[in-house]
Structure 1
Amino acid sequence: MFQQWRRRRLVKRVKPGDGRPLKRFRWWQQLNRGLMYLRADAAEGRVAEYAVDVGYLGDAQTGEVTARLYADGRLQAWSKTPVIFPVPGGTIEVATSVFGLKRCHFVDQAGTEHQLVPDPKSAEGRRARLERHHPVVSRWVGVVAVVLLVLGLTQVLLQLAEQLTAIPPIAEGIGAFHSPVQLPLWVTIALGVGAVVGSMERALRLRYHWLLDAAAS
């Protein structure tokens, strides 16, 4: 019931577009823009090609990250994220994290999910091309990203446990915890940077885990 209520709320926040044309993706927008496509499909009842355009830096005044839905290159609807756009044959669900997209999928009426196709000039499109042309390299890059996140998360949890058990009532009840790993400052900073890089790489593939990626935020 909660999920149904949440979906209705995300649909209701959609506002109509003004028909303005979709701007081409430029090379300097690699870090601040995502552009994904859902091709026309007569079998699904979609006679138009849809595009989802997301600005990662947010609105200059409100700071809200906005997703815009285009049909055949014209602005049809828009909303702050997360959002669900109704389209023929299903819905397009869009959600973001601080590192980029974490979800941009078409969900048909049977509940089957299909990830939208990134613009080939975008960072997501370049990452998808690496996966197609060099799958082994792509897998290793993904493994390294997860390792960086796990190391960063472990360090955060150890520090958090040490700080919590330093509180007098807790220390008196269960004793103080001292991390067995004492790292130099530069290593701690490097682990933090590595976790951010790992989350950025995963965002390019629309991979998101509530614990791993949220901890790097």
Structure 2
Amino acid sequence: MPRRTRGGWRARMAERRVRPGDGRPLAPFRWWQTLSRSLFLLTLPTSATSPTRYAIDVRTLGDREDGEIRARLYRDGALQAVSRLPARFPVPGGHIEVAARASGLRRCHFVSSSGQERALTPHPRSGEGLRARLDRTHPRVSRAIGVASAVIVTIGACLTVPQVIEAVSRIPLIADSLGTFVSPLHLPPAMNAAITVAVVIASGERALRLRSSWLDELAT
């Protein structure tokens, strides 16, 4: 069944964030950008003789100038548009949606006018591209890693959330009105740090597959 096209005020706000590009060429992908740059590709048959090639370029650590994370839309290698995230770029036959969480990108999809959607193809040298290649060449290993990541994030959320709720409940205004919550778990600082590192790695792996969710945000 076709997925219903997203609309409403969020879509309108995302469209208003789009600014025209200056036509500068798409920079080549370098090996040292594997974990700091996401590059996704899409080819659309916009004419009978020559399809149009689009690229979405996101520096996941933020732009060098101000630290803001932006998505850049390139058309046939030239910068066409720029937007803060979440972004919604109109293209022939639909639009491209780009969204991220703290752990990385969670969405980079082409959504057609009829509501059909598909993920863009990651650049083969990017972290997403390398993870996709692992899935193609070693599917069993890929599935095992995916299951392990999901389990780690779930356990991390279960261990972290009660402690966070207790800390928040100790705020005087909240404690006076609702009382103080006592977490059944009180882990040593070293264990909390180890869990945090494991969750960050697991959430990063999920982000490489565009699978991060609200659970990753809770866990971290």
TM superposition score normalised by structure 1? 0.88
Partner of residue 3, structure 2:
none
CA distance in 1, matches of 2:127, 2:84: 21
CA distance in 1, matches of 2:174, 2:13: 41
Q: What percent identity do the matched residue pairs reach?
A: 50
Asked whether the 8 Å contact 1:40–1:46 carries over to 2, the reply is no
Task: For residue 52 of structure 2, give the secondary structure of its aligned residue in structure 1.
Answer: coil
Task: Confirm or deny that 1:50 pairs with 2:54.
Answer: yes
Where does structure 1 lack aligned partners over 5 or more consecutive residues?
none
Which is worse superposed, 119-128 or 18-27? 18-27
Indicate the structure whose relative CO is greater, using CA pairs within 8 Å and at least 6 residues apart.
2
Task: Confirm or deny that 1:131 pairs with 2:132.
Answer: no
Q: Give CA-to-partner distance per residue, 1:82-108, whole Å, 9 cap, x none.
A: 110000000000112222211100000
Q: 2:195 aligns with which of 191, 199, 217?
A: 191
Q: Give CA-to-partner distance per residue, 1:101-134, whole Å, 9 cap, x none.
A: 1110000011111000000000000000011111
Partner of residue 209, structure 1:
213
Matches within 5 A, 1:1-217: 3-42=7-46, 47-164=51-168, 166=170, 177-210=181-214, 212-217=215-220
Asked whether the 8 Å contact 2:46–2:52 carries over to 1, the reply is no
Where does structure 2 lack aligned partners over 5 or more consecutive residues?
1-5
Asked whether the 8 Å contact 2:88–2:95 carries over to 1, the reply is yes
Asked whether the 8 Å contact 2:160–2:219 carries over to 1, the reply is no
Asked whether the 8 Å contact 2:163–2:186 carries over to 1, the reply is no
C-alpha deviation, 1:161, in angstroms: 3.8
Task: For residue 192 of structure 2, give the secondary structure of its aligned residue in structure 1.
Answer: helix
Asked whether the 8 Å contact 2:72–2:79 carries over to 1, the reply is yes
C-alpha deviation, 1:174, in angstroms: 7.9
Task: For residue 39 of structure 1, give the secondary structure of its aligned residue in structure 2.
Answer: strand
From the superposition, tell whether residues 96 and 176 of structure 1 become closer, same or farther in structure 2 (CA, over 3 Å): closer
Q: Give CA-to-partner distance per residue, 1:147-198, whole Å, 9 cap, x none.
A: 1111211111221343355567877898765444343322211111111111
How many residues align? The count is: 215
From the superposition, tell whether residues 173 and 36 of structure 1 become closer, same or farther in structure 2 (CA, over 3 Å): closer
Task: For residue 133 of structure 2, give the secondary structure of its aligned residue in structure 1.
Answer: helix
Letter in 1 for 2:111: V
